[in-house]
Amino acid sequence: MSIKTDKLSFYYSQGTPFETKALDEVTLEIKKGDFVGIIGHTGSGKSTLIQHFNGLILPEEGIVKIDDRNIKDKDLKIKLIRQKVGLVFQYPEYQLFEETVYKDVSYGPMNLDIDSEEIDKRVRYALELVGFKFEDIKDKSPFDLSGGQKRRVAIAGVLAMKPDYLVLDEPTAGLDPAGRNEILSRIRQLHESGITIILVSHSMEDIARLVKYIYVMYKGKIHMEGTPHEIYRDSEELKKIGLGVPQVVDVMKALKQKGIDVDTNKLTVEEASEEILKALRSRQDV
């Protein structure tokens, strides 16, 4: 079970003077249970790629398969793919429009062939998954919530469709540090609850904190791929294509060069701080 692309290419405004090659032979496989980051600077093709994952854009060159079914298969209902692969766009809270949280989250399931009891169950499940108490939140107006809370409601709207794969496009964009931490810890919990997560970001810090595997996009291609540690090892290459490494990576490298024995696999701020303290204590420097 996976999302698979094979030599997927895509052009905007093909055949016109404005033709742009947005994807260039992208081949990848994201298996069920994975926690994957797609990173790249603006215009590298991330949004175009993820729109292929749920059939918002149908492949023109190359193949997209969801759970081994070709997305262009005539017998395959695209509605089913949209249920399987939930896409949370950038600033999803702009799409909240109902007067209560309950109505907003139930909007998607209402269009499915399920009864009101099942809809109710799903709304409860989705709101609890993103960390709300159902009774406390259901009758509130989405517009009275904080930025981070609104975004969690919008994510719940996608989760209420019970997707197997959840694709989040820049989920922390525009949030203050508290809202950002709130969203990132919920995303981690969603993955722990068994949902496959594909996190699109240009923030190395966010990616480092969460994902197990990274695809780096550059000019429509998968330029690098590997575990966070493998990717950050090549910081020179990342800098060349306009990406940085998380600050902790630079700090750990500098310490190592000074002969302080730290485990450079520790990539989150929390882990790295602990590692640095441990190393310093063992040298009796502190």
Ligand X SMILES: Nc1ncnc2c1ncn2[C@@H]1O[C@H](COP(=O)(O)OP(=O)(O)OP(=O)(O)O)[C@@H](O)[C@H]1O
Give residue for tokens 């989150």: 268
Of these, 37, 45, 163, 179, which contacts ligand X (CB under 6 A)? 45
**Which range in 38-46, 68-76, 154-162, 184-192 contacts ligand X by CB under 6 A?**
38-46
Select 51 or 196, whichever has its Cβ closest to ligand X.
51
**Which range in 39-47, 75-83, 128-136, 272-280 contacts ligand X by CB under 6 A?**
39-47
**Which range in 43-51, 80-88, 135-143, 151-159 contacts ligand X by CB under 6 A?**
43-51
Count of residues engaged in binding ligand X, rule: CB under 6 A: 13
**Nearest partner of 204 among 37, 36, 34, judged by Cα:** 37
For the bound state, the minimum distance from the C-beta of residue 53 to ligand X, rounded and expressed in Å, comes to 13
Of these, 47, 149, 196, 203, which contacts ligand X (CB under 6 A)? 47
Is the CB of residue 176 less than 8 Å from the CB of residue 98? no
**207 CB-contact burial (10 Å; exposed 0-12 / middle 13-18 / buried 19+):** buried
The β-bridge relationship of strands 35-39 and 61-66 is unpaired
Q: By CB under 6 A, is residue 12 in contact with ligand X?
A: yes
E strand spans, the chain: 2-12, 20-31, 35-39, 61-66, 69-70, 85-88, 165-169, 196-201, 213-218, 221-226
Interatomic CA distance for residues 245 and 230, integer angstroms: 12
Q: By CB under 6 A, is residue 16 in contact with ligand X?
A: no
Select 186 or 221, whichever has its Cβ closest to ligand X.
221
Of these, 30, 37, 40, 272, which contacts ligand X (CB under 6 A)? 40
Q: By CB under 6 A, is residue 20 in contact with ligand X?
A: yes
Interatomic CA distance for residues 237 and 243, integer angstroms: 9
Is the CB of residue 139 less than 8 Å from the CB of residue 101? yes
Select 10 or 165, whichever has its Cβ closest to ligand X.
10
Neighbouring-strand partners of residue 167: 87, 198
267 secondary structure, DSSP code? -
Q: By CB under 6 A, is residue 214 in contact with ligand X?
A: no
**Which range in 44-52, 156-164, 231-239, 267-275 contacts ligand X by CB under 6 A?**
44-52
Tokens of 53: 């994952």
Is the CB of residue 67 less than 8 Å from the CB of residue 1? yes
Select 46 or 152, whichever has its Cβ closest to ligand X.
46
Q: By CB under 6 A, is residue 44 in contact with ligand X?
A: yes
For the bound state, the minimum distance from the C-beta of residue 89 to ligand X, rounded and expressed in Å, comes to 10
Select 57 or 160, whichever has its Cβ closest to ligand X.
57
First to last CA, the chain: 50
Q: What are phi and psi of 216, to 5 degrees?
A: -100, 125
174-203 binders of ligand X (CB under 6 A)? 202
Binding footprint of ligand X on the chain (CB under 6 A): 12-13, 20, 22, 40, 42-48, 202
